Structure 1
Amino acid sequence: MRKMPNRQEHTRRGRSTTRGWYLVSVFLSLTACGRRLSLSDLTPVFVPTATATVIASATPVASPTFTPAPPCEEESGVTETHSLATDYLPAPLRFVVHLPPGYACDQSQRYPVLYLFHGLLYDETQWERLGALTIADHLIADGEVAPFLIVLPYDSSSQEPGQYRFAEAIGEALVPYLDSHYCTCTQASCRAVGGVSRGAGWAIHLGLTRPDLFSAIGAHSPAPFWVDWPRYDDWLGALSSASFPRFWLDIGESDPLRPSAQQLEALLNAYGVPHEWHLFQGEHNEEYWHAHMELYLRWYTAVWP
């Protein structure tokens, strides 16, 4: 039986240190907003991995074999913008849906879905600017990954979970809406959630509290919500080894939030959560996320048939 860490110890440490990291993340997001980048501003470069650690499960679990999809005749997907009135938010929830190349070719297929959240003071177009949609199209059109949908919700607030009901709007309204209006696979194994900076905080929050909806969590330069830190022990402790999500965690060597990410990685180790931990060269900015976008997308889609 796995020995669980002392929850009081983790809680005391989380309360005493993470409020400071949250304030750093807010400052960092504000300073990063001075100049928004376009793809023409960004030149993809190879960034060597300073540290890349894959933590294996204590009990190996068989994973589905990934078979690359055949190349699609269409090279570009279709991007749609929508809004959804919910019982949880005062205004309609705005979101983008990106359909993969060839989506209209075979409506009988059920597609996996990747939900991605933007950083503080940005909007749902941030992931488009970072190249996520274009890179996904190329990978799908070349048959290197299976076709999948990308959903980009807009978080209009800077509040914490519990201060407004954004998480409920995603889990109780947006996910069911997507599943009823698109040809999606409705199993948790077909859904992943990810984010950059504050958006990674949402990815962690949703992934750990809604394992019935999401089976993979991608946290890129995470700025976790300080109100969530004391809850991580309970959320992780409630998961069985069979229900652990796939977990990716990365951050730049020069990112001021690096100690916070390392603390989160230590917590995953303490609970025996299988995960990938990457410490790359770089800072807390869009150049960093753009440089690793293809790597992110390949990880999200690796187990999707």
Structure 2
Amino acid sequence: MLMYPKNRHKEYVADVKKWLIFVAVFSILSLVLSNNALAYSIETKSIASSHMDKSFPATIVLPSAYNNPAQRFPVLYLLHGHGGDHTDWLNKTVVATLADHYSMIVVMPNGDKNKWYMDSPINSNYRYRSYIAQDVVQYVDQHYRTITTPAGRALAGLSMGGYGALHIALQHPDIFGAMASTSGGVDPRPFVGSFDLDSVLGDANTLSENWHNAAIISQIARLKMQSQALYIDCGDNDFFIDANRQLHQALRAKEIPHHYAEWPGEHNWDFWQRSIHHQMIFFSQFFKVESQ
């Protein structure tokens, strides 16, 4: 620790005050500069559900190019995982910076913590597929300058949200032209009794058809006709890896075009932080091709 001579106490105090003032001014200036450098903007909106008589928050990233009032933008809808919420992607990845770099709007809705983005066959109060596909998309198109065709909309998510993205997009090709799943729980059947799936799909023994129909692998036939762009990735040490491999093989057997990636990784944010970079490139290329 620096020791200041006693006979220079007043000068020392004066120097400290000057230093503190300098630090304060520097901190404020740094904050102002950093905010100015933050080219994108972030908004939080409350979006009502016409099916469930309640509202949910959504985080929305607008790229810096949105300042051009003559331009319309593609939208990536990005879903959170089980137990998460609309802030996860923003707080734990660089998705906002990527949205700015690729000049797309990113909408991160809240799909509740454990409802799997389904319209539940056993509980009419759970209408989360309809909420995302209809209410959220309609709100965004009404309040922002978006490209209002499937060519300008993509849907993606992680884990529960990865399942939700494929599940919703497959049933709404008139809304979403592209979809992606990272570490997705794409087949609920091996996870009876886990992740609150029973509360959405019912008893697996007496209502086995619900579980069968919910599996993405049971829905892929429609991809042949719908021609949506599809991206899937998963870590090789993820507990969902077997279901993702099986889905990939089923897609190959049906000669359905898709992008599949498998890397070293687990079911965590380290993997999802890497994955979102690849997804954004995939979607950017999709939007670019579709706009030509």
The TM-score normalised by the length of structure 1 is 0.69
The separation in 2 between residues aligned to 1:255 and 1:183, in whole angstroms, is: 38
Q: Report Cα offsets for 1:133-176 as digits up to 9, x if no partner.
A: 12332xx2xxxx3x110000012241352141011111221111
1:225 to 1:246, Cα distance in 2 relative to 1, 3 A: same
The separation in 2 between residues aligned to 1:212 and 1:266, in whole angstroms, is: 26
CA contact (8 A) 1:205 1:228 kept: no
Larger relative contact order (Cα-Cα within 8 Å, sequence gap ≥ 6): 1
Quick one: percent identity of the two aligned structures? 28
Aligned residue number for residue 118 of structure 1: 80
- The answer to whether structure 1 residue 93 and structure 2 residue 25 are counterparts is no
The separation in 2 between residues aligned to 1:198 and 1:239, in whole angstroms, is: 21
Mapping 1:230-241, distance limit 5 Å: 230=213, 232=216, 235-241=219-225
1:179 to 1:237, Cα distance in 2 relative to 1, 3 A: same
In the alignment, which of 247, 272, 289 is matched to residue 289 of structure 1? Answer: 272
Q: Which amino acid aligns with 2:76?
A: L
> Residue 268 of structure 1: SS of its match in structure 2?
helix
Aligned residue number for residue 247 of structure 2: 264
The separation in 1 between residues aligned to 2:111 and 2:57, in whole angstroms, is: 8
Aligned residue number for residue 185 of structure 1: 147
Aligned residue number for residue 169 of structure 2: 207
Higher radius of gyration, 1 or 2: 2
> Residue 222 of structure 1: SS of its match in structure 2?
coil
Number of residues of Structure 1 aligned to a counterpart in Structure 2: 224
The separation in 1 between residues aligned to 2:211 and 2:227, in whole angstroms, is: 18
In the alignment, which of 156, 159, 166 is matched to residue 128 of structure 2? Answer: 166
Aligned residue number for residue 32 of structure 2: none
- The answer to whether structure 1 residue 175 and structure 2 residue 137 are counterparts is yes
Mapping 1:1-305, distance limit 5 Å: 76-104=39-67, 106-128=68-90, 129-137=92-100, 140=101, 145=102, 147-160=103-116, 161=118, 162=120, 163=123, 164-224=126-186, 226=188, 227=210, 229-230=212-213, 232=216, 235-241=219-225, 243-305=226-288
Q: CA RMSD in A?
A: 2.0
Q: Report Cα offsets for 1:3-25 as digits up to 9, x if no partner.
A: xxxxxxxxxxxxxxxxxxxxxxx
Q: Which amino acid aligns with 1:200?
A: G
The separation in 2 between residues aligned to 1:255 and 1:90, in whole angstroms, is: 36
How far off is 1:117 after superposition? 0.3
CA contact (8 A) 2:156 2:180 kept: yes
Q: Report Cα offsets for 1:32-89 as digits up to 9, x if no partner.
A: xxxxxxxxxxxxxxxxxxxxxxxxxxxxxxxxxxxxxxxxx97521110011222212
The separation in 1 between residues aligned to 2:262 and 2:223, in whole angstroms, is: 26
How far off is 1:237 after superposition? 2.4
> Residue 212 of structure 1: SS of its match in structure 2?
coil
The separation in 2 between residues aligned to 1:282 and 1:233, in whole angstroms, is: 23
The TM-score normalised by the length of structure 2 is 0.71
> Residue 157 of structure 2: SS of its match in structure 1?
strand
> Residue 303 of structure 1: SS of its match in structure 2?
helix
CA contact (8 A) 2:237 2:264 kept: yes
CA contact (8 A) 1:116 1:152 kept: yes
Aligned residue number for residue 206 of structure 2: none
The answer to which of 270-279 and 155-164 deviates more is 155-164
Specify every segment of 5 or more residues in structure 2 that has no aligned partner in the other structure, as ranges: 1-35, 189-209
> Residue 281 of structure 2: SS of its match in structure 1?
helix
The separation in 2 between residues aligned to 1:205 and 1:117, in whole angstroms, is: 12
> Residue 304 of structure 1: SS of its match in structure 2?
helix
Higher helix share: 2
